[in-house]
């Protein structure tokens, strides 16, 4: 997440939210997971709230804060993956596994507080 990425990060709130979602989704997929419909909605809401806080505080043009938010979105998903009971299976089923709402809630307890998301 170097300077190149922070320079390419959108400054428009909706575009930034979409970018953060794309990063979160790619992180999950890189670990062999996808978001269930419910956990996707929770994650999108967390992202939207975080972007709203950045915008409200005038930080959309602050490359360091935006880059940190991108890193934190990745960290949140990684916590979801690490705490997912599916990861603890001795022989996980082939293919992609789902991250569910309980994975989201469990990660939230370990992640928050974390500006600007919670």
pLDDT tens figures, 1-20: 444 444 466 789 999 999 99
* pTM: predicted TM-score of the whole model, two decimal places: 0.84
Residue 90 has pLDDT above 50, yes or no: no
**pLDDT confidence of 86, banded at 50, 70, 90?**
low
Domain ranges of the chain: 3-85+95-111
Does residue 103 have a cis peptide bond before it, meaning omega lies within 30 degrees of 0?
A: no
Strand partners, 35: 99
pLDDT number for residue 6? 42
């Amino acid at each position: 997440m170097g300077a190149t990425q922070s320079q390419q990060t959108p400054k428009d709130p909706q575009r930034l939210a979409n970018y953060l979602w794309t990063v979160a989704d790619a992180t999950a997929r890189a670990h062999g997971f996808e978001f269930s419909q419910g956990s996707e909605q929770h994650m999108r809401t967390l992202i939207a709230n975080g972007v709203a806080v950045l915008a409200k505080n005038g930080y959309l043009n602050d490359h360091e804060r935006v880059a940190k938010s991108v890193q934190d979105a990745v960290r949140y998903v990684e916590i979801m993956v690490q705490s997912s009971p599916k990861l603890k299976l001795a022989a996980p089923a082939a293919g992609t596994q789902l991250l569910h709402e309980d994975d989201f809630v469990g990660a939230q307890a370990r992640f928050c507080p974390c500006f600007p998301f919670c």
